[in-house]
Amino acid sequence: MSQISERQYHLIHDSYRRCMLADDFLVMFHRNFMEKSPQIPKFFADHTLQQQHRILAKSVARLVSFVDGKPQAEQDMRDTMRILHDGNLRLTPEHYAFWATALMETICTIDEACNDEVAVAWEQTISYGTGVLKKDHSLRNAAYQI
């Protein structure tokens, strides 16, 4: 279930809608993410630019869905983890900080209504979502070592 207030829930959804309606959101998010570490572009080398944008769009959509607390949302987050870890991306939990920073920078640039309250709502949402992914990743690694 969600770790944010109802007001934050609405702030996230309104901000998400504004960002996704912006023509340059995914382009900017992609660029910001790729610039965070020289390792990041290597993980995406086998994907077209369109596929990379789709992966990033899906990651944000699943995060927003997850914070809704919908029953399917937890499975969607696990699917996201499989894409990030078990697919040919092989991102590790350490890379989530780069993703989170790139996402926040992009949101605060694109969403003209992004103020401190909206930014805090996003930060809490991102922290909650990436926390679940990190926990799931740790559990999966522990299972592999048995």
Residue-wise pLDDT tens digits, 33-90: 999 999 999 888 888 999 999 989 988 988 888 877 777 777 777 676 666 655 556 6
Distances (CA, A) of 112 to 4, 22, 28, 80, 119: 22, 11, 15, 28, 12
Are the CB atoms for 18 and 48 separated by under 8 Å?
Answer: no
Flag whether 81 is in a domain: yes
Q: What is the pTM of this model?
A: 0.85
Which range marks the domain in which residue 119 is found? Answer: 6-145
Please state the domain count of the chain: 1
Give residue-wise pLDDT tens across range 87-128: 556 677 788 889 999 999 999 999 999 999 999 999 999 998
Flag whether 39 is in a domain: yes
* CATH number for 94: 1.10.490.10
Q: Which residue has the tokens 């696990």?
A: 78
Flag whether 41 is in a domain: yes
The four Cα atoms 4, 14, 122, 111 give a dihedral, to 10 degrees, of -160
Flag whether 1 is in a domain: no
**What stretches of the chain adopt beta strand conformation (E)?**
none
Give residue-wise pLDDT tens across range 67-76: 777 777 777 7
